[in-house]
Amino acid sequence: MARTTTAKHPGGQAGASARPGARRRIDEPRLAPSPVVLLLVDFINPLNFAGAERLAPRAVAAATACARLRRRVRRQGLQTIYANDNYGVWRADFADLWRRCSRAPGAPGAVARTLRPLAGDCTLLKPRHSAFHGTALDLLLRQLACRRLIVTGLAADSCVLFTAMDAYLRGYELWVPEDCTAAETAEDERAALAQMQRVLKAHTRAAI
């Protein structure tokens, strides 16, 4: 998660600018280009909805596979981005959401701890199904000079599907690894992956 610093004027007083109207600087290094980006959609999840008991074991398996994929991505110097639902809590931030889920029993805690954000990862909260809708994701990807998006997460037939559709509309190449996403049933998962492969020209081969 990004660290920010407060701008100071020459006299050392925090929060003041050197001159009226001057733009404050945030001393954060620019993001390195990442032609391929790993996107984690809604893995950090309390799983407290109808049908979650069917999704839970499949979510743990997908998170385990995604953790292995993330290690490969990091070794290649590529960017990881978390795009997570805010679950209607408008004053929430990602760090607080992760802490709450990581302390939860069962699958929600296991998934959150398996996919704990690491230094250099980017995070954003989304208000709806697609990680693009109402967020700065597309702007961030363009700043990274991303061309190919690896879309992983929950659920394959909902938020992953909506996100992949929006990515396709914006011209990104897609890889949706079949072992790094999950739905409530194997049938739902296969149908979603088949649709993304056929309509969105997504690759769906497993990451492992």
CATH number, domain with residue 142: 3.40.50.850
**Total number of domains constituting the chain:** 1
Tell whether 148 is covered by a domain.
Answer: yes
Tell whether 13 is covered by a domain.
Answer: no
d(C-alpha 186, C-alpha 70), whole Å: 23
Average pLDDT, the chain: 90
- Specify the pLDDT at position 208: 83
Tell whether 118 is covered by a domain.
Answer: yes
pTM: 0.86
- Specify the pLDDT at position 24: 64
Tell whether 16 is covered by a domain.
Answer: no
Tell whether 58 is covered by a domain.
Answer: yes
- Specify the pLDDT at position 11: 41
Encode pLDDT of 76-85 as tens digits. 999 999 999 9
d(C-alpha 140, C-alpha 142), whole Å: 5
Tell whether 208 is covered by a domain.
Answer: no
**Which domain does 147 fall in, by range?**
36-199
d(C-alpha 109, C-alpha 115), whole Å: 10
Tell whether 3 is covered by a domain.
Answer: no
Tell whether 206 is covered by a domain.
Answer: no
